[in-house]
Every structure is written in structure tokens, then in C-alpha cells.
């Protein structure tokens, strides 16, 4: 089944493109999207409307790519224009990944196999609000497509998806598994390995923040490193100061 963004782009799954062996496997939660600023004249309707799938997993928000992707989207002239959202609104998690997770560990993007529990984007509460209040009332008058992307779920990973991720992990040949936040710990690692923790806090209580430990997955030992979600690490919008400071301290020690 296809899902559609405002103004008609189709949702595409984002998966690792470079399938050569890697040193580290990074598991996030769910895919983000390309965000546009929607304007009518001098009025901003929405500062950051999700309008297309990112060109690749953990996209860095390259402004030229953003402009090209958004420029392909048709919007009735009566409804204004779409332009790239602010630089901090496209690709912020990727910048955190590169600068504050991979770099302190001594890796570059070329060393990493990237994966999300859910490889497609979902609609969060702020996007749902603007779609309901600003976009939906114009659908009938202007012949717009309904937005069919599901809302952000609470369960991101079922048993079938766990098997797919395990297959990617094996293919990657990575010796280190980095988990971003609570959800990959609980919904993936807790399903595929015997562990005594189900959250980042519980892990930190056992091993300390930023310390690796060993688990056995499908009979194979691998080092795991649960870290805070990029939102917390990069202080992106609403975030936990505790985890932000814990990560800053960890970086200083690397």
C-alpha cells in the first residue's frame, strides 16, 4: 500500500545503500522526511511541512538536494509556494550522528551501516495538526490528495521486522551495534537477545553511559553501545538536559 505526503509525493522506505562490510551498525527508530516551508505571500502557513521522503537514510539535509526535491512538487499557485525549511529542520539527526556519535568513536559515515526500526516516515503530532487545520480544508476545492501516512505509532518493530534487521546486521559484518535511545533497546534488542535492561537508564545503571557491553545474538557475540537519541544529544527542540549533558561528558572522554 502506498502512502502520500501533502501535495502528492509517495512515501519511500529508507535503507542502507552501500552494502559493503562495515565496522558499526547504527539502529534508530523511524525515518524522517524532507521538510518544506509553506508560504502564501508574506504569510508562513507552516515552517516545516513534511513533503517527501529523504533521498537516503540519515540524510544530512543538503540544501541543494532539498531545493531540487521540493522544486519537483506541484502546488496550486493559489496556495502559495514551497521552499526548503530552515537548515536546522532538515537532517538535524544526521548531523548529530556524524559529529557526536560516529566521530567520537573514530568512525566516518563510510564505516557505518545505518538502519531504522521503521524504515518509513510517520506523522507526528505537530505535522498532524497542520495537516488537519491548514491542508485538509483545501483538499476538495483544489483537488489535493488526502494525506494517508499513518500517525507515529508506539510499536515500531514487529517480529518480521526484527528478522529483517537481524539479516542486515549479519550482512553488515559490524562488530559494534549502536542503539539510539530507549525504543531500539526495548523493541529490538530485548526481542533478539537475553538482556537485563529495557531502557537506556537501566543500561546506564548497569554499565555507565557510553560504555560498551557484550550480548549474544543468534549465537554470535557482538558489542552493543546504547546511546541517547539524537534529539537528546543535539538538544533538538524538546529534549532531556540529563541525557544531553551525559553525552557531552562522554564525548569529552573519547
Give the pLDDT confidence score for residue 97 in this predicted structure. 97
Give the pLDDT confidence score for residue 149 in this predicted structure. 98
pLDDT tens digits along 161-200? 999 999 999 999 999 999 999 999 999 999 999 999 999 9
Give the pLDDT confidence score for residue 237 in this predicted structure. 78
Give the pLDDT confidence score for residue 36 in this predicted structure. 98
| DSSP line for 27-40 | EEEE--EEEEEEEE
Give the pLDDT confidence score for residue 240 in this predicted structure. 83
Provide φ and ψ at 113, rounded to 5°: -105, 120
pLDDT tens digits along 136-165? 999 999 999 999 999 999 999 999 999 999
Give the pLDDT confidence score for residue 236 in this predicted structure. 85
pTM: 0.95
CB-based contact 151:128 (threshold 8 Å): yes
CB-based contact 192:204 (threshold 8 Å): no
Residue 181 C-alpha cell reads as 535511545
Mark the ranges of the chain whose per-residue pLDDT is less than 50.
Answer: none
Give the pLDDT confidence score for residue 1 in this predicted structure. 79
Q: Report the SS3 class of residue 117.
A: strand
Amino acid at each position: 500500500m502506498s502512502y502520500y505526503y501533502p501535495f502528492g509525493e509517495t512515501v519511500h522506505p529508507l535503507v542502507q545503500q552501500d552494502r559493503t562490510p562495515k565496522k558499526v551498525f547504527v539502529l534508530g527508530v523511524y525515518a524522517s522526511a524532507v521538510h518544506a516551508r509553506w508560504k502564501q505571500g508574506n504569510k508562513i502557513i507552516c515552517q516545516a511541512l513534511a513533503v517527501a521522503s529523504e533521498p537516503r537514510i540519515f540524510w544530512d539535509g543538503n540544501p541543494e538536494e532539498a531545493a531540487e526535491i521540493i522544486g519537483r512538487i506541484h502546488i496550486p499557485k493559489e496556495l502559495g509556494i514551497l521552499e526548503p525549511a530552515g537548515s536546522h529542520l532538515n537532517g538535524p539527526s544526521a548531523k548529530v550522528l556524524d559529529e557526536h556519535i560516529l566521530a567520537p568513536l573514530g568512525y566516518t559515515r563510510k564505516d557505518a551501516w545505518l538502519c531504522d526500526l521503521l524504515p518509513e516516515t510517520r506523522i507526528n503530532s505537530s505535522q498532524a495538526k497542520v495537516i488537519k487545520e491548514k491542508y485538509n480544508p483545501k483538499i476538495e476545492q483544489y483537488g489535493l490528495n488526502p494525506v494517508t501516512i499513518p500517525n507515529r505509532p508506539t510499536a515500531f518493530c514487529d517480529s518480521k521486522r526484527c528478522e529483517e534487521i537481524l539479516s542486515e546486521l549479519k550482512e553488515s559484518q559490524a562488530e559494534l551495534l549502536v542503539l539510539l535511545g530507549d525504543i531500539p533497546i526495548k523493541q529490538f534488542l530485548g526481542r533478539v537477545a537475553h538482556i537485563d535492561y529495557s531502557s537506556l537508564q537501566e543500561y546506564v545503571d548497569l554499565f555507565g553511559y557510553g560504555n560498551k557491553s557484550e550480548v549474544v545474538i543468534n549465537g554470535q557475540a557482538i558489542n552493543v553501545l546504547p546511546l541517547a537519541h539524537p534529539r537528546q544529544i543535539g538538544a533538538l527542540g524538546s529534549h532531556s538536559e540529563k541525557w544531553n549533558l551525559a553525552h557531552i561528558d562522554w564525548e569529552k572522554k573519547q
